[in-house]
Structure 1
Amino acid sequence: MHKKNIQTAGNSLKEAEKVLITVHGRGANARDILGLTSHLNVSGFALLAPEATNNTWYPHSFLANPEQNEPWLSSALELIKEVVGDVTKQGIASESIYFLGFSQGACLVLEFVSRYAQKFGGIAAFTGGLIGDKINEENYSGNFNETPIFIGTGNPDPHVPIERVKESVDILEKMNAKVYLQVHEGRPHTISPEEIKEANRVIFI
Structure 2
Amino acid sequence: MHTFHFDFVGEGIPPAQHAMILLHGRGASAEDILQLADALPVRDFALFAPKATNHTWYPFPFLAPPQHNEPWLSSALDVVGRMVKEVKNRGIAEDDIWFAGFSQGACLMLEFLARNAAPYAGALAFTGGLIGDQIYTQNYKGDFGHMPIFIGSSDPDPHVPVERVLESATVLQHMNAIVTTKIYPLMGHTIGQEELKDATALLSSYDNS
**Structure 2-normalised TM-score?**
0.95
What are the residue-to-residue correspondences of 1:13-162 with 2, within 5 Å? 14-162=14-162
Q: What is the rounded CA distance, in whole Å, between the counterparts of 2:196 and 2:158 in structure 1?
A: 21
Query: Residue deviations 1:69-123, cap 9 Å, x none?
Result: 0111000000010010111122322110000000000000000011111111110
Structure 1 runs (4+) greater than 2 angstroms displaced: none
5+ residue gaps, structure 1? none
SS at match of 1:170: helix
SS at match of 1:203: helix
Q: Residue in 2 aligned with 1:8?
A: 10
Contact in 1 for aligned 2:19/2:47 (Cα 8 Å): yes
Contact in 1 for aligned 2:9/2:48 (Cα 8 Å): yes
Query: Residue deviations 1:128-185, cap 9 Å, x none?
Result: 0000011110111111111110000001110000111111000000001001111011
Provide the identity percentage.
50
CA RMSD of aligned residues (A): 0.9
Q: What is the rounded CA distance, in whole Å, between the counterparts of 1:115 and 1:89 in structure 2?
A: 21
SS at match of 1:149: strand
Q: What is the rounded CA distance, in whole Å, between the counterparts of 2:108 and 2:128 in structure 1?
A: 8
Q: Provide the aligned length of Structure 1 versus Structure 2.
A: 203
Read off the aligned partner of 1:44 and give its amino acid letter: D
**Structure 1-normalised TM-score?**
0.97
Read off the aligned partner of 1:153 and give its amino acid letter: S
5+ residue gaps, structure 2? none
